[in-house]
Amino acid sequence: MEFLPYFIATGILSGLLAGLFGVGGGLTTVPILALILSAQGFPEAHVMQVAIGTSLAVIALTALSSTRAHHGHHAVVWKTVGMLVPGLVLGAVLGAWTAHGLSTVMLARIVGVGALAVALKMLLQADPRVRFQAPGRGLLTTAGTGIGWASALIGIGGGSLTVPFLRLCGYEMRQAVGTSAAAGIPIAWAGAVGFIWTGWQVPGLPAGQLGYISLPGFAAVAAASVLMAPVGARLAHRLPQLWLQRAFAALLIVIGCTMLLGIR
């Protein structure tokens, strides 16, 4: 119970960022949950898997709330979401399976390097040129598989990968964010199920676990994040697009450094 305020604060920040950037909040949720779990004396060998699995379970709810808000602003391209879904689901399941076989330190480094790489890409291409005119089902399925795999591996809703990809396909920033939020739904649900399955028979996990998902952490973070996601989505439609891109990159740099330096 002494850590409950930290879980709630994590949920508030996670939900706000989910709506604002379409990232599902996972890039913030995972490192903070990892630090909270470590402070609780959680088995070190499973800290990152539980942080990632719990983050995906939270995103499964947050993405619904965030998507509803973006849909109200006509910012979700549902046809694109539909073509991404098969690849996103397949990739998310593979990502959960991959994470199960990696160590906490390795997962933390992957999260950190991934966040810094995406930040650098967005800073160098603040307004990327269109490279894929009217992307077809094949490209979207392939991209969806890669996005789903990487997203489940590090516990995010895919926005850090989906948003730049959609920008390269010619989508303006608000449509990219809104569509990314909707694409986070299949990633989160498939990934969460994958982490429940791979963590189901793992020995040494304490009570209150559903596979690799912490039920107390999920309940506290999800309740706060679902309430805050619409607030972030409303802000996303009021702020300048270039400011959003640069703020997104700055967020990823902070997260990347946290994961590289904070987990040993």
- Asked if the model's pLDDT at residue 133 lies above 60, the reply is yes
Say which residue, 2 or 98, is predicted with more confidence: 98
Residue 232 and residue 19 in contact, taking contact as beta carbons nearer than 8 Å = yes
Distances (CA, A) of 221 to 27, 55, 57, 200, 214: 14, 9, 10, 22, 11
Place of tokens 């973006």: 70
Angle at alpha carbon of residue 73, lines to 126 and 65, rounded to 5°: 95
Give SS3 for 213.
strand
| Of 68, 175, 55, 182, residue with least CA distance to 107 | 55
pLDDT at 53: 93
Alpha-carbon distance of 47 to 253, in angstroms, equals 22
* pLDDT surpassing 90 at residue 189: yes
- Note the pLDDT tens digit of each residue in 149-158: 998 988 887 7
| pLDDT at residue 80, rounded to an integer | 92
For residue 126, pLDDT over 60 is answered with: no
pLDDT value at position 52?
Answer: 92
CB 25 within 8 A of CB 14: yes
Amino acid at 233: A
pLDDT at 200 over 60: yes
Residue 246 has pLDDT above 90, yes or no: no
What ranges in 104-240 are assigned the alpha helix state H?
Answer: 104-124, 137-154, 159-168, 173-199, 215-236
Q: State pLDDT tens for residues 159-175.
A: 778 888 888 888 888 88
Average pLDDT, the chain: 83
What share of the chain in percent tops pLDDT 90? 24
Six token digits for residue 221: 């973070």
Question: Using alpha carbons only, what angle is made at residue 152 by residues 36 and 122, rounded to the nearest 5 degrees?
Answer: 90
- What gap in Å lies between CA 56 and CA 26, rounded to an integer? 7
What local confidence, expressed as pLDDT, does residue 172 receive? 83
| pLDDT at residue 213, as a whole number | 94
Q: Looking at residue 98, what is its pLDDT?
A: 94
Give the separation between CA 28 and CA 94, rounded to whole angstroms. Answer: 22
How confident is the model at residue 35, as a pLDDT?
Answer: 82
Per residue in 2-61, pLDDT (tens digit) is 667 778 888 888 777 766 765 656 777 888 888 888 888 888 888 889 999 998 998 888
**Angle in degrees, CA 106, 155, 42, rounded to 5:** 65
Question: Which pLDDT value is given to residue 147?
Answer: 93
Give the C-alpha separation, 137 to 86, whole Å.
10
Name, in order, each residue with C-beta under 8 angstroms of 159's C-beta and a sequence gap of 6 or more: 21, 22, 23, 24, 177, 180, 181, 184
